[in-house]
Amino acid sequence: MTTTMNIAQAQQEVVEEFALFSDWQDRYEHLIELGKDLPLIAPEHKVDDNLVRGCQSRVWLNAELKNKLVHFTADSDAMITKGIVALLVRVYNDRTPQEILGASTDFIDRIGLREHLSPNRSNGLSAMIDQMKRYALAYSAK
């Protein structure tokens, strides 16, 4: 279970999982599958205020603090984007704000996704991570 791992371990797990794919098609099909398991954002949170700026497709991200842990839900109108959000949620979900703020983000480079993403999309990726960290920062101040 991911929840028993720390962020670094969860990232390592993702890196190993993606290392299994040698061609682009498998990699993207996996990403699309991951998107289907994303904990979906509740309709009342799927609002413009929760749109992540800097993404070409639309991405909604919401965070709530539950038992001192940051709980993320999200959605996107594009499937590959949704897969990427799902990957981030899997790594950062239900962590303390401090752990999220302290985590490195280089695993994105290590899964070889950045080179397969257009600059636009990898900017969107950074925007998503920044947004998650902003939520964590807001909750850590509480």
Binding site for another protein (CB under 8 A): 24-25, 28-29, 32, 56-57, 77-81, 116-118, 121
Q: Which is nearer to another protein, 7 or 86 (CB)?
A: 86
Q: For the chain, how many residues are written?
A: 142
Q: Tell me the sheet residues that pair with 95.
A: 70
Is 48 noted as a catalytic residue in this protein?
A: no
| Burial bucket for residue 72 (CB in 10 Å: 0-12, 13-18, 19+) | buried
Q: Which is nearer to another protein, 8 or 78 (CB)?
A: 78
Instruction: Work out how close the CB of 52 gets to another protein at its nearest, in angstroms, rounded to a whole number.
Output: 14
Cα–Cα distance measured from residue 81 to residue 31, given in angstroms and rounded to the nearest whole number: 9
Instruction: Work out how close the CB of 78 gets to another protein at its nearest, in angstroms, rounded to a whole number.
Output: 4
Write the Ramachandran bin of 94: left for phi over 0, alpha for psi from -120 to 50, otherwise beta.
Answer: left
Q: Report the chain's C-alpha Rg in angstroms.
A: 14
Q: Which is nearer to another protein, 27 or 95 (CB)?
A: 27
Instruction: Work out how close the CB of 79 gets to another protein at its nearest, in angstroms, rounded to a whole number.
Output: 5
Q: Which of 7, 14, 34, 55 is catalytic?
A: 55
| Residues catalogued as catalytic | 55
